[in-house]
């Protein structure tokens, strides 16, 4: 932004029939014009976190001098490979890149939506097909997706690393490298997005699952002020109990540093090994291609970036007061199979409240064991926490909207119990056609529902309010009405005090420190 608040843009110059360039602080970037959308893929937002920069806070990228070809996505960060979701791109530790979708023709600064991908903090990337930002960009926003470090490369500590602080780099923090990457990407956006037509003073962060957990942690951090103005948390929980960087927590779980030391011993790294030995380890040793059933990795309380648990920070009014959308889906229990969670294990979490919980759900008409377990798991892990965060944010005079997504595509109804974890994502992005065999099942009703969700999300990015012309009215949440918008097969409606008895059961357990997380990040 120039002095006096006047925006100026480097024009998107055509250098070939489908190629366009833009000049940012680090050099010229060449992207592609795809219809009326300018797309730039694989732009580095930080130095490669390799060699001496492994397990260090991200550094700003160096200028590249010439023209950066931004036509292809960058490599994904190292992670286990799943047969159900193969990765078409190479894996590489040099993975800190981002992607931009921007309307090609505009003359005013546009709202920016920055997507934080999910994947339990050990899977995923910003380049998955259903994160394609083209449809959102057509609605008049600039979309950014990015990669961040995962698994032990993203969340790790060891006594040797704690002695490596660079006193000349005050932002050197330990442990939460994946979250630090997210902040680095937001800083890149703040610095450069005006050159793509985006407004750096109108940025919405949104994410799902681990990406939504990240949104909530960023909202409760003191290190992000000025980097975003609105937030959307899709199935991000809120009852998580984060572990500590250096000491055991109240649940007896080892600290991240203790766990790192134990792991170093398990791979027969000699006792007393230092930084050089750790940084020389092959990536395959650090990120083995193993099962993802143990989801213990994720952000930890370090006293600077993360100061406490999400729910507690919201309860104390220690979250950023920005417009906020939060919600969850009705079949979040789709994660049970992926994480190896058995029904008996779920019952164990409720201890002496098990029979009370079962009777409560049966009184609401959920009597068969499998649907009851599905509802218990989904409510305790995602739905009740989302309502808790809506309660706490709205009580602090924060503009808040709460949703409950249960829509199943027309041709898939009766074949699945409900809207699975993450199933709202392609509706929000308008990317349903990117899903497997979409041409065989995608119906007009599905496309129309996607148009509605995309409109809600993009309207929110533009104004801080999801409502707009032609859309069913979405009432904001407050402590009296506790209004939730239901996005269901039969349509969209607002309901007050959704599932109040059963959700308040879980909220009361959390308030009384009786609710350990069913799903550890």
pLDDT of residue 521: 37
pLDDT tens-digit map of 458-502: 999 999 999 999 999 999 999 899 999 999 999 999 999 999 999
pLDDT in tens, 121-132: 999 999 999 999
Most confident of 19-33, 80-94, 236-250, 503-517: 19-33
* Spatial distance between the Cα atoms of 294 and 248, rounded to a whole number of angstroms: 19
Q: Write down the pLDDT at residue 105.
A: 84
103 pLDDT above the threshold of 60:
yes
Say if 427 falls within a structural domain.
yes
pLDDT tens, position by position, 304-324? 999 999 999 999 999 999 999
Q: Which of 83-97, 103-117, 342-356 has the highest mean pLDDT?
A: 103-117
User: Residue 63 domain-assigned?
Assistant: no
Give CA separation, 229 vs 49, 142, 321, 373, in Å.
28, 15, 9, 38
Q: Is residue 37 part of a domain?
A: no
Domain membership of residue 21 (yes or no) is no
Q: Which residues are catalytic?
A: 209, 332, 421
Taking residues 333-358, what's their average pLDDT?
88
- Is 221 inside a domain boundary? yes
CA distances from 192 to 45, 146, 205, 276 (A): 10, 15, 16, 35
Give the count of domains, the chain.
Answer: 1
Query: What is the pLDDT at residue 516?
Result: 59
Domain span at residue 459 reads 73-79+113-257+259-263+291-511
Task: Retrieve residue 71's tokens.
Answer: 């036509």
Encode pLDDT of 369-380 as tens digits.
999 999 999 999
In whole angstroms, what is the distance from residue 520 CA to residue 306 CA? Answer: 17
pLDDT-derived band at 295 (thresholds 50, 70, 90) equals low
Q: CA 158 to CA 163: how far, in whole Å?
A: 9
| Percentage above 90 pLDDT, the chain | 77
Q: Which of 179-188, 236-245, 506-515 has the lowest mean pLDDT?
A: 506-515
Residue 31's pLDDT is 97
Instruction: Give the model's pLDDT for residue 311.
Output: 95
- State the pLDDT at residue 85: 63
pLDDT in tens, 16-73: 437 899 999 999 999 999 999 999 999 999 999 999 999 999 999 999 988 999 999 9
The residue that leads in pLDDT, 337 or 111, is 111
Q: Annotate 304-329 with b (16+ C-beta within 10 A) or e (fewer).
A: ebbbebbbebbbeeebbebbbbbbbb
pLDDT score, position 19: 84
Of residues 82 and 29, more confidently modeled: 29
Q: Taking Cα atoms as reference points, which of 95, 20, 13, 116 lies closest to residue 53? A: 95
Q: How confident is the model at residue 10 (pLDDT cuts 50, 70, 90)?
A: very low
Is the pLDDT at 517 greater than 90, yes or no?
no
Tokens 């050197």 identify what position?
172
Residue among 97, 13, 32 nearest 58 (CA): 97
pLDDT value of position 520: 42
3-state DSSP percent of the chain in helix, strand and coil, to 5: 35, 20, 45
The answer to whether residue 339 sits within a structural domain is: yes
More confident site: 217 or 7: 217
What's the mean per-residue pLDDT of the chain? Answer: 90
In a domain, residue 60? The reply is: no
CATH number of the domain enclosing 496: 3.40.50.1820
Q: 3-state class of 48 per DSSP? A: coil
Residue 497 in domain? yes
């Amino acid at each position: 932004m120039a002095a006096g608040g006047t925006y100026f843009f480097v024009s998107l110059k055509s250098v070939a029939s489908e190629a366009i360039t833009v000049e940012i602080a680090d050099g010229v970037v060449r992207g592609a014009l795809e219809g009326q959308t300018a797309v730039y893929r694989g732009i580095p937002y930080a130095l490669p976190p390799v060699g001496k920069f492994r397990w260090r806070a991200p550094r700003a990228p160096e200028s590249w001098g010439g023209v950066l070809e931004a036509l292809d996505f960058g490599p994904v960060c190292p992670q286990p490979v799943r047969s159900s979701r193969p990765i078409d791109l190479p894996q590489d530790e040099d993975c800190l890149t981002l992607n931009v979708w921007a309307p090609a023709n505009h003359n005013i600064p546009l709202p920016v939506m920055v997507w934080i991908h999910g994947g339990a903090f050990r899977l995923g990337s910003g380049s998955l097909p259903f994160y394609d930002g083209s449809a959102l960009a057509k609605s008049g926003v600039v979309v950014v997706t990015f990669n961040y470090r995962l698994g032990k490369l993203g969340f790790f500590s060891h006594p040797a690393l704690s002695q490596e602080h660079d006193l000349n780099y005050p932002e050197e923090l330990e442990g939460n490298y994946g979250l630090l990457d997210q902040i680095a990407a937001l800083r890149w956006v703040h610095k450069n997005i005006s050159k793509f037509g985006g407004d750096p003073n109108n940025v919405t962060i949104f994410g799902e699952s681990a990406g939504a957990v990240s949104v909530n942690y960023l909202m409760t951090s003191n290190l992000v002020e000025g980097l975003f103005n609105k937030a959307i948390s899709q199935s991000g929980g809120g009852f998580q109990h984060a572990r500590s960087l250096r000491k055991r927590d109240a649940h007896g779980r080892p600290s991240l540093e203790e766990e790192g030391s134990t792991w170093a011993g398990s791979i027969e790294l000699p006792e007393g090994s230092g930084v050089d030995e750790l940084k020389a380890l092959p990536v395959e040793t650090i990120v083995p291609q193993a099962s993802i059933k143990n989801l213990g990795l994720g952000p930890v309380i370090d006293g600077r970036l993360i100061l406490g648990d999400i729910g507690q920070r919201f309860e104390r009014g220690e979250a950023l007061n920005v417009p906020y959308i939060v919600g969850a889906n009705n079949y979040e229990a789709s994660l049970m199979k992926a994480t190896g969670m058995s029904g008996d294990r779920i019952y164990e979490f409720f201890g002496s409240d098990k029979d009370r919980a079962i009777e409560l759900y049966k009184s609401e008409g959920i009597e068969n064991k499998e649907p009851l377990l599905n509802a218990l798991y989904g409510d305790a892990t995602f739905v009740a926490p989302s309502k808790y965060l809506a309660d706490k944010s709205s009580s602090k005079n924060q503009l808040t909207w709460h949703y409950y997504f249960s829509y199943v595509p027309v041709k898939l109804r009766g074949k699945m119990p409900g809207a699975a974890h993450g199933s709202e994502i392609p509706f929000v992005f308008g990317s349903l056609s990117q899903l497997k065999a979409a041409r065989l099942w995608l119906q007009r009703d599905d496309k129309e529902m996607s148009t509605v969700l995309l409109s809600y999300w993009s309207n929110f990015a533009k104004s801080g309010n999801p409502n707009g012309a032609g859309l069913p009215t979405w009432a904001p949440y407050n402590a009296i009405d506790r209004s939730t918008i239901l996005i269901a097969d039969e349509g969209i409606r607002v309901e007050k005090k959704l599932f109040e008895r059963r959700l308040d059961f879980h909220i009361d357990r959390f308030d009384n420190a009786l609710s350990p997380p069913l799903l550890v990040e």
